[in-house]
Amino acid sequence: MSLPLDLLCIGATLLLLLRGYPVGLTLAGAATLFALLAEALAYPPWVESGGIAQMQAAFARVFGLMDATNEPLLAIPLFVLMGVIIEQTGQAERLLNRLSALLAGREGLAALSVGTVLAAATGIVGATVTMLAILALPKMRLAGYPDALSSGIVAAAGSLGQLIPPSIVLILLADALNTAWQSAQRDAGNWAPLPLSTPDLFAACLLPGLLLALLYAAYIIARTTGRRQRATTASRGADRLTLLAPLVLIALVLGSILFGLASPTEAAALGAVGAMILAATRRAQILALLGLLVSALALIFGKPLFLALPAALLLSAAIVASLWSLARSNSAKPPALAAILDKSLTLSAMIFMIVIGAQIFSLTLRGLGGAARIEGLLADLTAQPELALWLVLAVIFVLGFFLDVFEIVLIVVPLTAPALFSMGHDPLWTGAMIALVLQTSFLTPPFGVALFYLRGAAPSDLKTAALYRGVIPFVALQGLAIALLALMPPLATALPALLR
């Protein structure tokens, strides 16, 4: 009996990842080593699938992935840039201060609101949890919140970035689900299925994400009602522009995607430029506002040149003024613009390295028979589609303790989703369920990823036991949200159907 190289490949890769080796390089490296081993041993599934020659397809996949026409993935670096600008230029801190002043005595709700906004702006859990731990946690402790409650709020609010669009994770998940959906439809004899787009998944996850945020808010209100809290040092002179501008920007970005006014890439570019202008001087903001007003008039009157040209000049001047303002800023060493670009490039490169490594790993695992093994296991449950779905969700939940979200989305979803779709599960509802389960995994003690980020950024006197106690009620609320979505699929399917 030959060795199950597909299982050995998965086990070796997990072991290397747990040892802390770089994710993208580990996926690509382990896949290449096992491909060479399978070739040397003339491993039957490998030989039957084409042998080492099929590795040439990996190059085509990488080039296709990084092609300028790959519209969904082009949005990722732009959304990363938007989030990094908001983080590095202090917009998140100012927003938290204004909300704390507006909701005096409700610092927990202010932290949740900022977490929700940052979730929509960045979609990067680690960055959001760390930022909230630094900015919001001290405010809540100063206001008299118990350590358990304040740490639970930070971890839960920071994790919303997985679910609330526009999220980088949802962009990758939509791409993986679309590939699986097309495959399942072709197997069923439908050679021209409707694609599953990124805006579709954004719309599917919007209501579940807002529902979860409302459940969090209800719990925070219930825990803090009647509790006497000390006033924080936040000023009550709330600057309405500081409060409303990020909300308006996110509404424009998300609204333009959901209503089909712009592609995710175009909306991401709008968000990055808008965040840059919000971080710049008042002069740049006034130029941008005038440019938007003239642009609106140009659209109303059919884009005449005498209005379109001034609009373009005003917006260009606003962008140049913003770049100049950030380049001369002393808020970071090196200057703010250099720090923003450096961090954006690093995060984007990391994400795409994982994507490329996952593509090579997935191709090799299929050649080793891993995909056929998983599909066979799920095929045995064809008569029990609900059990098959919950089995896959349980595996994703457990893997969320140990693997990065990108690895799960790019490896597990392509292997399991086609079988689930063949059983009749709706792809948008399934995608929303996967996103919710992943988010629950990131919060669940003792291995939740969000907890590690919080532990690293929280003050040393905050006990780990208090952190775990504080998160448990939010995990229970996550379970309630999963149950509600499972019982009421229209929570995920109604809005996409309405917007199509």
Instruction: Tell me the range of 170-179, 310-319, 367-376, 424-433 where mean pLDDT is highest.
Output: 424-433
Lowest mean pLDDT among 3-7, 204-208, 330-334, 448-452: 330-334
Mean pLDDT of 341-354: 85
Mean pLDDT of 175-200: 86
> Which of 68-72, 125-129, 192-196 has the largest mean confidence?
192-196
| pLDDT given at position 200 | 92
Estimate the crossing angle of helix 427-443 against helix 385-399, to 10 degrees.
40
CA 162 to chain centre: 4
CB 367 within 8 A of CB 41: no
Residue written as token pair 């424009």: 252
- Residue of 243, 75, 96, 91 whose CA lies nearest to 166: 75
CA distances from 327 to 92, 316, 452 (A): 20, 16, 34
Look at residue 335 and tell me whether its pLDDT is greater than 80: no
Q: At what angle do helices 427-443 and 490-499 cross, to 10 degrees?
A: 130
Q: DSSP code of 410? A: I
d(CA 62, CA 168): 19
Q: Crossing angle of helices 370-379/5-18, nearest 10°?
A: 100
Q: How much is the average pLDDT of 329-341? A: 68
Q: What pLDDT, in 10s, does the model give residues 20-40?
A: 788 788 888 999 999 999 999
pLDDT recorded at residue 483: 95
Taking residues 237-248, report their average pLDDT: 63
Cα–Cα distance between 280 and 464 in angstroms, integer?
39
Is residue 51 over pLDDT 70? Answer: yes
Query: What count of Cα atoms within 13 Å lies in the side-chain half-sphere of residue 3?
Result: 11
Q: How many percent of the chain have pLDDT more than 90?
A: 18
Q: Is the per-residue pLDDT at 127 higher than 50?
A: yes
Amino acid at 416: T
**Packing angle of the helix pair 107-121, 147-158 (nearest 10 deg):** 20
Q: DSSP readout, 237-295?
A: ---HHHHHHHHHHHHHHHHHHHTTSS-HHHHHHHHHHHHHHHTS-HHHHHHHHHHHHHH
Q: Which two tokens stand for residue 463?
A: 């006990």
Q: Which of 113-122, 290-299, 354-363, 379-388 has the lowest mean pLDDT?
A: 113-122
Task: Give residue 365's pLDDT.
Answer: 87
Across 113-127, 242-256, 360-374, least confident range? 113-127
What is the residue-wise DSSP string for 64-99? HHS-TT-HHHHHHHHHHHHHHHHHHTTHHHHHHHHH
Question: Taking phi first (over 0 means left), then psi (-120 to 50 degrees means alpha), and beta for anything else, what does residue 420 get?
Answer: alpha
pLDDT at 306 over 80: no
For range 57-68, the mean pLDDT: 71
Q: 122-126, 292-296, 405-409 — which is least confidently predicted?
A: 122-126
Evaluate if residue 215 carries a pLDDT over 90: yes
Whether residue 354 contacts residue 23, with contact meaning beta carbons closer than 8 Å, is answered with yes
237, pLDDT greater than 80? no
C-alpha distance from residue 500 to each of 163, 317, 495, 496 (Å): 21, 36, 9, 6
Per residue in 90-107, pLDDT (tens digit) is 777 777 777 777 776 688
Orientation of helix 427-443 relative to helix 449-457, angle to 10°:
40
The answer to whether 210 and 491 are in contact (CB under 8 A) is no
The 8-class DSSP code of residue 40 comes to H
The answer, yes or no, to whether residue 2 has pLDDT greater than 80, is no
pLDDT at 85: 84
CA distance 45 to 28: 20
Which residues fall within 8 angstroms of residue 142, CB to CB, at 6 or more apart? 230, 232, 233
What pLDDT is attached to residue 496? 92
Does the CA dihedral 224-226-230-234 come out positive or negative?
positive
- 8 Å CB contact between 52 and 31: no
3-state secondary structure of 55: helix
CA distance 486 to 236: 43
d(CA 476, CA 474): 5
The answer on pLDDT for 60 being more than 60 is yes
Mean pLDDT along residues 462-481: 90
pLDDT, tens digit, for every residue of 396-421?
Answer: 998 887 777 777 888 888 888 988 99
CB 384 within 8 A of CB 150: no
Q: Is the pLDDT of residue 234 over 50?
A: no
Q: Which residue has the tokens 């191709």?
A: 363
Confidence check: pLDDT of 485 > 70? yes
Mean pLDDT for all residues in the chain: 82
Q: What is the pLDDT of residue 243?
A: 65
Q: Supply the Cα-derived Rg of the chain in whole angstroms.
A: 24
Q: How far apart are CA 361 and CA 363, in angstroms?
A: 5
Instruction: Return the pLDDT at 241.
Output: 58
Highest averaged pLDDT of the listed ranges 65-79, 269-283, 469-483: 469-483
Highest mean pLDDT among 62-71, 300-309, 352-361, 419-428: 419-428
